[in-house]
Structure 1
Amino acid sequence: MEGECRVAVVLPAGGCGERLGGCTPKQYCPVLGRPLISRTLEAFERVGWISDIVVVVAPESVDLMKNIIRRYGHKLVSLVEGGVTRHRSIFNGLRAFVEDHSLGPALKKPEVVIIHDAVRPFVDEETLLQVTSATRQYGAAGMVRPLVSTVIAPSSDGCLDHSLDRAKHRASEMPQAFLFDVLYKAYLQCSDYDLDFGTECLHLALAYSKTRAKLLEGPPDLWKVTYKRDLYAAESIIKDGISKHLCIITNIKEEAVQIGFRLHENLKSHIKHVKAISLSMCRTVQDMQNIFQGQCYNFVYINVTDSDLEESCKLIDLLQAAQAGASYQSVVVSVHLAFPEQSGSEMQKLSKIRELAKEVQKSDLLLYGLLINFSKEESQLEDGARQASAIITALITDRNPALTGQVMVV
């Protein structure tokens, strides 16, 4: 951000998720193998100008949240015990900046504090920058979205009393941001009724700090996970995002180059960003980090050796060392070529891929095998490449752990 401005985040995460159903609060439900709240924390930790993240959790969830922080390496997070309502939890989170608390080190009071929901994982830096910049100008700001349904008010007998003009109203969303003193002052003055039954932080800033928040039109992906179906939608959005990049790696054998070229041409029509590189560019951990720092979590390695997975194992070792699966499960498709006189023995040699896949899945790498029957006849070679491209696209899109270790044949 331009200028010196300390920005912190408070994430209320003490809810029990009644509307989701089940016994696990929604913020701890897995999304692509990682708790939902970890996905949200990761979104904030990618923003370099955020100094602290305070997560407010129910007392019975403190140990669970500590384990999540430790397992997924969240560095900026401090824990605070929540209250019995959302507003009381947010108030506890704000107090952590001005009072001592027992669950973490003392925190420095920020100029701007962002309030967000632990179950809204798709917040991006541009949105955070907009709401923070507006807050520095107006004292408070919040994201809004158009209403998708008309709001109606029933009468005491259950009949329609009146409806609101949808064009004149907006749905309040997160994130919201405040000058810290504006929001903290409001909470110090608000009533028990506000703390127990209120839902809108922007209203508290207006009522008790006389601060009129700037309302900003937010992107459509600020919705929060409320129902079980939303977990599937969240997974689908993440899968769609991480399936747009693919790296094809080939060795220098002529057959590998031929297949690699055809796969590259076919996959470009299915996957947005496809690049092909030589194995010589993937010799070190730094090489691999340079590849996937551009959000690449999908790798196809075309192996023309004795099909004993030796070269694929070397590549996987590098990916593990580079922590390719630290954020999202990475897909590795190990492609092998079967020549007419060798097809039976090739499948037998590739049978060991199943055990290897079980082992590397512990590092969040999903390993699949693909055997292409190689032919020097141009039309058959092209047809095989098209079929292989369709399989690779499906594997990358679905990211199905149940299929790891399987060897598909075209």
Structure 2
Amino acid sequence: MSYNNSEDVKKLMANIGDLKTYAVIPAAGKGLRVSGDVSEPKQYNIVCDKPLIYHTINACLRIKWISKVIVVFDDSNYQKMKNIVDDIKHQKRVHLVVGSITRHGSIANGIDSIAAMKWPLPDIVVIHDGARPLLEEQLLIHLVDSAVKYGASGVICKLTSTVLSVSNDNLLDKALDRSQYFASETPQAFRYNLIKDAYNQCSQQDFDFNTECLDLVQKYTSSAVKLIEANPSEYFKVTFKKDIYTAEGMLREKKDVLLHCDFHCESQVDYRFISELREGLEKTFSNVAFFNNSSAIQLTYNPLIVRILIKFCNSWKDITEKSLSKCDSMIYLIITCDNTIDSLYKEMNCWVKSKTNDIKKFFVIHSNLDELNKHKDRLIKTVLYLSKQSPIELSGQIFFM
């Protein structure tokens, strides 16, 4: 059974749909291998204009059947974490819990908080590291289903480097067969009673030196552990500075692109470039949705959603009257029959600048109807660049084609 097979996922979702699932995100570490600076743990490093932990929390919240997201943090960064959570939509599902000096201590605090808060006890607890901003729902469905069947489940990835056994004096002992070993990643899923029992039985040595939740559950509950192999290019932990750049690139590709066409193509002009633009977007991004008018979709404030609104009108003055919803990133592609752009530039520039109060990254592209086919390729390249990079330094600019 493949975790990417949509039919398999539908069947499994039917099996687990009635389960109560909570997520625990340990995010109390110092992350010194990234910054080397104890004042700025890695989970607060900025990635795609937001702290890394913002993306991890948001990834959990996008999975609607996760009822609660428990974020375990270092109490010295309380205000910083609170500000991040306050900036997230659906924040009522997010709960902050003070962590410990060790990873297992922090996770245990998160799990103990469930009973302490007198919430309904969950069937399943998902554990996902705060330094892992990517989370795929299809894979998580398989993990939860496996946790129901076996007790515990986790993601593993093939090793990409040779593994060596080294003696105490740093001499080579032997090279291990890496095909027999895997890297343990998160998310991991557990029956609530099993992960709670495991932590209740942990020794101090476990808390201080063990870093593997799956091992603790197997050790103290005799539960079977189901392992599911995943793509190592996606399921990695931000550990070193280079991983920040990898995460940024992958999050940009994971953006949701909403393409609104605010007119009827067939009744006005043959806009062949729209199909080519759509094709270019689908090659660049994982999720592209097309709508034939801007009112067909609910607009939500999300830094990983890019809205591309294509508007046809007779005059620039039709544009200045349009009300635009507050959002993080919008590309407003305007096609007009108006040939008096130069005289209106100052007026339009003021209007665009005023909209940046509500739209953080607002880019306006103008093309005259008569010049559309001539500039089609440059137009598409500009939209693709602005969609992927969203350069904030260009926000409020008008691009004339």
Scaled to the shorter chain, the TM-score interval is: 0.7 to 0.9
Separation in 1, partners of 2:155, 2:309:
40
| Contact map agreement 1:246 1:296 (CA 8 A) in 2 | no
| Cα pair distance change 1:265/1:71, threshold 3 Å | closer
Provide the residue aligned with 1:371 in structure 2: 366
Mapping of 1:327-366 within 5 angstroms? 329-337=328-336, 342-361=340-359, 364=360, 366=361
How far off is 1:83 after superposition? 1.0
Where in structure 2 are there 5+ consecutive unaligned residues?
1-12, 283-287
Provide the residue aligned with 1:20 in structure 2: 34
- Counterpart pick for 1:224 among 212, 227, 237: 237
Separation in 1, partners of 2:118, 2:64:
20
- Counterpart pick for 1:93 among 91, 107, 110: 110
Separation in 2, partners of 1:16, 1:299:
39
Separation in 1, partners of 2:61, 2:290:
28
How far off is 1:335 after superposition? 2.0
- Counterpart pick for 2:100 among 77, 83, 101: 83
SS at match of 2:139: helix
| Cα pair distance change 1:139/1:312, threshold 3 Å | farther
Separation in 2, partners of 1:11, 1:233:
21
- Counterpart pick for 1:190 among 178, 202, 205: 202
- Counterpart pick for 1:386 among 377, 385, 395: 377
Separation in 2, partners of 1:253, 1:292:
32
Code of the residue aligned with 2:110 in structure 1: it is: G
Report Cα offsets for 1:120-166 as digits up to 9, x if no partner.
12112222211111111111111111111111122222221122211
Code of the residue aligned with 1:156 in structure 2: it is: N
Mapping of 1:106-121 within 5 angstroms? 106-121=118-133
Separation in 2, partners of 1:312, 1:288:
22
TM-score normalised over the length of structure 2: 0.84
Code of the residue aligned with 1:389 in structure 2: it is: I
Separation in 2, partners of 1:90, 1:343:
59
SS at match of 1:158: coil
How far off is 1:291 after superposition? 11
Provide the residue aligned with 1:127 in structure 2: 139
Where in structure 1 are there 5+ consecutive unaligned residues?
none
Q: Which has the larger radius of gyration?
A: 1
- Tell me whether 34-43 or 346-355 shows the greater mean CA deviation: 346-355
- Tell me whether 66-75 or 5-14 shows the greater mean CA deviation: 66-75
Provide the residue aligned with 2:83 in structure 1: 67
SS at match of 1:137: helix
TM-score normalised over the length of structure 1: 0.82
Provide the residue aligned with 2:219 in structure 1: 207
| Contact map agreement 1:27 1:35 (CA 8 A) in 2 | yes
Separation in 1, partners of 2:144, 2:53:
22
Identity %: 29
- Residue 298 (structure 1) aligned with residue 270 (structure 2): no
**Number of equivalent positions:** 377
SS at match of 1:114: strand
SS at match of 2:280: coil
Mapping of 1:208-357 within 5 angstroms? 208-220=220-232, 221-242=234-255, 245-250=258-263, 257-258=268-269, 261-272=271-282, 273=288, 275=290, 277=292, 281-282=293-294, 287-289=296-298, 297-308=306-317, 310-311=318-319, 314-316=322-324, 319-320=325-326, 325=327, 329-337=328-336, 342-357=340-355
Report Cα offsets for 1:346-373 as digits up to 9, x if no partner.
4344322442243233xx4x22222324
Code of the residue aligned with 1:370 in structure 2: it is: I
